[in-house]
Structure 1
Amino acid sequence: MAEFCNKDNTKLNPQSSSNLAKLLSQLINKTPTAGYYATSAGTGTNQLHGLAQCRGDVTPKECSSCITDAADQITARCPGRPDARIWYDYCFLRYSKDNFVGKLDNSYALFFYNVENVTDPETFNGKLGGLVDEIRSQAVKLRSKGIGKGETKLSPFLTIYALVQCTRDLAAIDCAQCLAIAVGNFPNFCNNKKGCRALYDGCYVRYELYPFFFPLKSANSSIAAASEATSMVAVIRS
């Protein structure tokens, strides 16, 4: 879906590159079991830290496939970089020479949004706001593993579907803060839009007018296809 490569002048040396291969192998092998895994490889200045997480509603098989592809693509798209991250619909993977695990980082974000606007913004935003507040409260609960999802009727014929998730290394207060920042940026990028995805290192927020999380409900596939075909991207760096 999208990636971030640290483009400073630093490159991984041969030992760090070897450690990266070991790190990615561990993430591929360990993440599907619980849907999340964080680890490190190497020592001293050659040490690398990594984290991988799958969306909380996907199966271990889907998780494994996503993480395997993410590990392959992150090295292809960010060759030799000391800090990189990649987002897919079903998973997220990051590695860095700095130990970022357990730390909130909102310095980089991606927003994908549908270019089409809703026809009744006042009703839509009211319904969406209530739904997002509800699932955000789900996500910070200990047993939720960082995920919240739900739906609400917009009309007899339209339903809003939304999902939020934090990486499981974050404390509840950091999860809540990440989600608040992501949702707080909706007016800047997703105002009155039919669909939007906010991708941060520590959290993910998405809403659509068609079902996209599991268990998947039947929907008009043309609506989903049109939404995907007309999406655009905005980038935040701080």
Structure 2
Amino acid sequence: MVALVLLTTVTAASPMTGYWDYLCDDGNYTAPSKYQQNLEKLSTTLPEAVASSPTLFYRQIAGSSQDRIHALARCHGDTEAYDCERCLTRAFQDARVVCTFRKSVSIYYDTCSLWFAEKNIKIHLGYWKSDLMADGPPIPAYCKAFKKDASTLIADVARKAADSPQRHATGEKDRDERACKYKLYSYADCLPGISAAECQACLEDLTTTPNLSGGQMGERKATLLCSYRLEPYQFFKATKGELP
């Protein structure tokens, strides 16, 4: 039996794909309106602002009084600037389709996330709901070790992300047995600028109860402050390094 845990340093992002989850909230706006104009303004300035930021994170406000929009966007720490801007440009486009005329939207992609709302977006634990998606092939029927392996890997990568100055980390776990043969890969990150303690608390809240009971080998979970992803395939390019 081989059960190795490795951590990696991210060097490049996976190609952008479609959104994996979204949430429409609060009231509606009309078109044409000042609110719509402010949203259009944000859609042309925020993607570039995030992509050019050293932390790949930025927040903007457009408009005043009742027409004001608060927006916040980020890309994963392994994302190239071009892919980051492209992802967030698409996020604004998709948000108009899936949450037509809604004033508050959160939408998640493999490489980026976007939030905008009529009210100020508060950055603290418990303020935003978490989004969850299970995917991938089914867990092998006779593999009793899978849930423990997956939970251990997720927890290890989450701790490494909280300790990292960049607030993100990746890892892999390998098992080669007759009933259990797989490689698992995980990624965890936190919003740039939050403390190590806040990052750790957020990821612990997300990863304490993984949805592995759903019967699939892959899953991802995200909130405004942090996120993690688990897959039975490598979805990032990285340089391997052993977990101490």
Residue by residue, what CA displacement relative to the aligned partner does 1:40-92 show, whole Å, maximum 9, x if unpaired?
11222221111111122121121121111111111222222110011111111
For this pair of structures, how many residues does the alignment match?
214
1:162 to 186, 207, 220: 186
User: For residue 20 of structure 1, what is the amino acid of its counterpart?
Assistant: L
More helix by share: 1
Map of 1:26 onto structure 2: 45
C-alpha distance in 2, partners of 1:120/1:170? 41
Structure 2: which 5+ residue stretches go unaligned?
A: 1-18
**1:140–1:160 CA distance, 2 compared to 1 (3 A):** same
TM-score, length basis structure 1: 0.78
2:112 to 87, 91, 94: 91
More strand by share: 2
Counting only pairs closer than 5 Å after superposition, residues 189-208 of structure 1 correspond to structure 2 as 190=213, 193-208=216-231
Residue by residue, what CA displacement relative to the aligned partner does 1:117-160 show, whole Å, maximum 9, x if unpaired?
2345542233323322221122223612x212111222286321
Structure 1: which 5+ residue stretches go unaligned?
A: 218-238
> Given the alignment of the two structures, is residue 11 of structure 1 paired with residue 29 of structure 2, yes or no?
yes
User: For residue 29 of structure 1, what is the amino acid of its counterpart?
Assistant: E
C-alpha distance in 2, partners of 1:153/1:118? 15
Could you say which structure has the greater relative contact order, defined with CA pairs below 8 angstroms and 6 or more residues apart?
A: 2
User: For residue 196 of structure 1, what is the amino acid of its counterpart?
Assistant: E
Compute the RMSD of aligned alpha carbons: 2.6
The answer to whether the Cα contact below 8 Å between 1:109 and 1:201 also exists between their aligned partners in 2 is no
The percent identity for this pair of structures is 23
Map of 1:52 onto structure 2: 73
- Give 1:97 shift: 1.2
SS at match of 2:221: strand
SS at match of 1:62: helix
Map of 1:215 onto structure 2: 238
